[in-house]
Amino acid sequence: MSDVEDFPGGINNLEGLKRQEALDLLNSCLAHLAKEDGPSYKIIKVISVTGQLVAGDLYRYKLELDNGTDIKQCSIKIWYRSWLKEDGINIKIKFAGEEGELDRTW
């Protein structure tokens, strides 16, 4: 992954190659969750993807996910720190209308 945008801290809607890189990272993270301790999700619809340059890259997604039984709208945050060999990726998944969130780091 490359820097998200021109300046640190700015939140930007991602398009083109940067959007595709962010979606590839999301798919990789969802696959990692599924092969570890679950859960398993499939992306149904991408509503928005933003990026922010922080201490690493912070991506925010608004999506519809399928968990095998239901399709639910959710927001996902992925904090990607490429220089860390351990705990370089943190993912948080929050489903609309539900308490709590899934929070994993690897």
What CATH number is attached to the domain comprising 85?
3.10.450.10
Residue 38 within any structural domain of the chain: yes
Question: What's the pLDDT at 6?
Answer: 56
Question: What's the pLDDT at 5?
Answer: 46
Which range marks the domain in which residue 26 is found? 11-105
N-terminal to C-terminal alpha carbon distance within the chain: 17
Residues of the chain predicted below pLDDT 50: 1-5
Report residue 96 CA to chain centroid gap. 16
Interval 21-43: pLDDT, tens: 999 999 999 999 999 877 899 99
Question: What's the pLDDT at 37?
Answer: 79
How many structural domains does the chain have? 1
